């Protein structure tokens, strides 16, 4: 009887012990592997080194090795668990377009030149902007990649109906970056664009990512809030935003985030970057307004993170605070990063703009708009109103865009 018990219990206890040992080994392996991946894979970028941090120490935004919002507003998600939020992401309706999105016919060919006195703005979905001012070509938050995340399976770009001619990006005078999140600063886009770009203007610390990706340090200017840089008659000023930063596991707020004022002789433009509503918009408006055009973040909002992303109604209020003439909603139309229907940012922004008598423009992806001419107001996302784009439905994303850029530009 005793022997029998031995026979039965001993081996099973050993199995149990083995199992107990294997689980932590797998966990350690996954953790070490994951950490190794995050520290070595280039898309995660590089946090600023100690020498840079010493320079940041004089910034009013820098405390205890990290950047802070005014009033120390933080990201903390209120209400509901991560699991609940994840379930909302899976179950919410209409968060993605049912069909590939139309692309303006003009975007499918190289653009025609405009006089240096004209200002032209072209939206490429989300917050990617091509701005022509004083005869110069400026790219803002050029996220042209297929996925707004470090792993291509997450945050995929909405499919496009037509290709975009990339030759327009083969000679860029300045790239402006608002912050280092994946939907604004894309490793693949920077790698492909860098040889075509004269100079990069970024908030404090963001240059360390660019340097890791092979952009020479002398072609990067890092600015704190309220600091300006000039080139060829254009003044760029990094202005406050209420947001956060980080690309990896341990670099939260190690680089600064900003909105931007872009001022030339023939146009004064505001670009919001990302951020929640706050008194800083009024202050920027007083110091740098009025603006001919404001490009305002109005998508990817949620009550849980209302402090660090604006609701569309707040975006309209911010535009009024800024003393803007025409508002263009951005941060929508390319990626699903929140749980609202994908067209809701534009719809809510239009409704709020109508109520407040704000002029709002909603160009197609790739539709160039000359400031001072009639601006596009059509709800192109509604069924039956899309542009008469050609019918070949090749989803456009970075891979295709970059093939074009390579052949069009000087990159060898
Ligand atoms: Zn964003």
Q: How far is the CA of 25 from the centre of ligand 1 (A)?
A: 37
- pTM for the full model? 0.87
245: burial class by Cβ within 10 Å (0-12, 13-18, 19+)? buried
Predicted confidence band of residue 266 (pLDDT cuts 50, 70, 90)? very high
Q: How far is the CA of 273 from the centre of ligand 1 (A)?
A: 7
Integer angstrom CA distances of residue 267 from 175, 270, 272: 18, 10, 16
pLDDT of 175-210, one tens digit each?
A: 999 999 999 999 999 999 999 999 999 999 999 999
Which tops the pLDDT comparison, 211 or 16? 211
Q: Which residues of 296-316 are buried (b: 16+ CB within 10 A; e: fewer)?
A: bbbbbbbebbebbbbbbbbbb
Q: How far is the CA of 300 from the centre of ligand 1 (A)?
A: 8
The residues pairing with 231 across neighbouring beta strands, listed in sequence order, are: 234
Q: Is 387 in contact with 105 (CB distance < 8 Å)?
A: yes
Predicted confidence band of residue 388 (pLDDT cuts 50, 70, 90)? very low
Predicted confidence band of residue 351 (pLDDT cuts 50, 70, 90)? very high
The pLDDT score that the predictor gives to residue 390 is 37
**Half-sphere exposure at residue 166, Cβ-oriented, CA atoms within 13 angstroms:** 24
d(CA 288, CA 282): 10
Arithmetic mean of pLDDT, 43-55: 92
Q: How far is the CA of 299 from the centre of ligand 1 (A)?
A: 9
Query: Locate tokens 């229907």: which residue?
Result: 341
Q: How far is the CA of 401 from the centre of ligand 1 (A)?
A: 21
Q: How far is the CA of 192 from the centre of ligand 1 (A)?
A: 21
Q: How far is the CA of 40 from the centre of ligand 1 (A)?
A: 24
Q: How far is the CA of 113 from the centre of ligand 1 (A)?
A: 31
pLDDT of 166-175, one tens digit each?
A: 888 999 999 9
Q: What are phi and psi of 52, to 5 degrees?
A: -65, -45
Q: How far is the CA of 132 from the centre of ligand 1 (A)?
A: 23
Q: How far is the CA of 145 from the centre of ligand 1 (A)?
A: 14
The pLDDT score that the predictor gives to residue 91 is 81
pLDDT of 145-166, one tens digit each?
A: 999 999 888 899 999 999 898 8
Q: How far is the CA of 183 from the centre of ligand 1 (A)?
A: 5
d(CA 369, CA 163): 19
Q: How far is the CA of 121 from the centre of ligand 1 (A)?
A: 19
Q: Could you tell me which of 362, 354, 349, 364 has the C-alpha nearest to residue 318?
A: 349
Predicted confidence band of residue 363 (pLDDT cuts 50, 70, 90)? very high
| Mean pLDDT across the chain | 88
Q: How far is the CA of 274 from the centre of ligand 1 (A)?
A: 5
pLDDT of 69-84, one tens digit each?
A: 998 888 776 656 677 7
Q: Torsion over CA of 52, 57, 59 and 60, rounded to 10 degrees?
A: 150
Q: How far is the CA of 6 from the centre of ligand 1 (A)?
A: 62
d(CA 237, CA 235): 7
- Edge-first strand order for the sheet with 268-271 is 228-231, 234-239, 259-263, 268-271, 291-297, 324-330, 359-360
d(CA 47, CA 74): 20
Q: How far is the CA of 178 from the centre of ligand 1 (A)?
A: 9
Q: How far is the CA of 129 from the centre of ligand 1 (A)?
A: 13
Q: How far is the CA of 144 from the centre of ligand 1 (A)?
A: 13
- Non-local (6+) Cβ contacts of 286 within 8 A are none
Q: How far is the CA of 146 from the centre of ligand 1 (A)?
A: 15
Integer angstrom CA distances of residue 300 from 118, 174, 256, 378, 404: 32, 27, 20, 22, 30
Query: Locate tokens 């990159």: which residue?
Result: 411
Q: How far is the CA of 190 from the centre of ligand 1 (A)?
A: 17
Q: How far is the CA of 331 from the centre of ligand 1 (A)?
A: 6
Q: How far is the CA of 275 from the centre of ligand 1 (A)?
A: 8
Q: How far is the CA of 330 from the centre of ligand 1 (A)?
A: 10
Query: Locate tokens 């025409």: which residue?
Result: 326
The pLDDT score that the predictor gives to residue 25 is 83
């Amino acid at each position: 009887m005793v022997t029998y018990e031995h026979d039965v219990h001993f081996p099973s206890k050993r199995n149990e012990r083995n199992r107990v040992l294997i689980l932590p080994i797998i966990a350690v392996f996954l953790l070490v592997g994951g950490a190794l991946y995050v520290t070595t894979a280039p898309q995660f970028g590089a946090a600023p080194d100690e020498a840079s941090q010493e320079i940041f120490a004089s910034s009013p935004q820098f405390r205890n090795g990290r950047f802070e919002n005014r009033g120390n507003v933080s990201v903390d998600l209120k209400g509901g668990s991560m699991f609940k939020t994840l379930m909302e992401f899976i179950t919410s309706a209409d968060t993605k377009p049912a069909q590939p999105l139309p692309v303006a016919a003009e975007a499918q060919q190289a653009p025609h030149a405009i006089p240096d006195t004209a200002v032209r703005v072209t939206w490429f979905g989300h917050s990617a902007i091509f701005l022509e001012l004083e005869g110069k070509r400026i790219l803002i938050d050029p996220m042209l990649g297929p996925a707004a995340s470090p792993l291509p399976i997450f945050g995929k770009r909405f499919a496009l109906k037509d290709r975009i001619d990339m030759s327009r990006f083969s000679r860029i005078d300045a790239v402006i970056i608002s912050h280092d999140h994946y939907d604004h600063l894309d490793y693949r886009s920077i790698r492909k664009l860098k040889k075509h770009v004269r100079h990069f203007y970024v908030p404090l610390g963001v240059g360390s990512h660019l340097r890791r990706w092979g952009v020479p340090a002398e072609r990067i200017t890092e600015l704190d809030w309220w600091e300006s840089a000039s080139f060829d008659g254009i003044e760029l000023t990094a202005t406050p935003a209420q947001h956060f930063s980080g690309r990896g596991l341990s670099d939260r707020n190690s680089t600064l985030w900003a909105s931007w004022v872009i001022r030339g002789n023939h146009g004064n433009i505001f670009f919001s970057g990302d951020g929640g509503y706050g008194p800083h918009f009024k202050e920027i408006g007083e110091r740098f307004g009025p603006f001919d055009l404001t490009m305002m973040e109005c998508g990817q909002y949620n009550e849980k993170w209302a402090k660090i992303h604006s609701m569309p109604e707040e975006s309209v209020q911010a535009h009024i605070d800024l003393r803007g003439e025409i508002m263009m909603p951005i941060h929508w139309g390319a990626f699903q990063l929140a749980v609202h229907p994908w067209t809701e940012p534009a719809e809510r922004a239009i409704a709020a703009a109508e109520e407040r008598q704000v002029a709002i423009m909603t160009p197609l992806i790739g539709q160039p708009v000359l400031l001072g001419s009639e601006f596009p107001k059509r709800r192109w996302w509604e069924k039956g109103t899309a542009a008469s784009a050609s019918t070949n439905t090749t989803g456009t994303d970075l891979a295709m865009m970059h093939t074009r850029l390579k052949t069009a530009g000087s990159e060898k």
